[in-house]
Amino acid sequence: MNIDLLKHAQVQAQLAAEPPKDPQIQALVNELISRVADKWTMIILDVLAEQGALRFTQLANKVTGISQKMLTQTLREMEREGLVTRTVYPVVPPKVEYRLTDLGLSLGAAFCGVWIWAEQNLGAIEQARAAYKLRNNQGNGK
């Protein structure tokens, strides 16, 4: 039964006063979001969702701009949270494959709306940035 979830969605839609929601739950959810709402986590999640299984270096190439350290760290974190599985093949050239779990896939699906939003609003964001610059007298070097 997803009544709570529907209620939550409706509340979001009408932006009104929040019904009695467990502040404890709220805090837990916030904490969970804090861990998951990381830029590297999100991008890795997306890449893995698209590519299926990938090796360490493959991942490093797909996720442009990440350092090995952060890649390792983020992958470990995601493994801890149960979002990815790490499979080590004990062969002479070491081979480690990363793959999303069902939990990871479901998060990817949930996050899909944000990617769509990002694609749709690229232009709007750029305009907003330009407008902000103007508002703050862009020429000011200070």
Q: Does 36 bind its own copies (CB under 8 A)?
A: yes
Select the residue interacting with its own copies from 61, 72, 80, 87 (CB under 8 A): 80
Nearest Cα to Cα of residue 49 among 98, 118, 122 = 98
Residue closer to DNA (CB basis): 95 or 129:
95
Number of residues in contact with DNA, rule: CB under 7 A?
Answer: 22
Within 10 A of 59 (CB to CB), how many other CB atoms are there? 20
Nearest Cα to Cα of residue 83 among 58, 122, 111 = 111
What whole-number distance in Å separates Cα of residue 102 and Cα of residue 89?
Answer: 22
Binding site residues, its own copies, CB under 8 A: 1-2, 4-6, 8-9, 11-13, 15-16, 18, 25, 27-30, 32-39, 41-43, 49-52, 64, 79-83, 101, 103, 105-122, 124-125, 127-129, 131-132
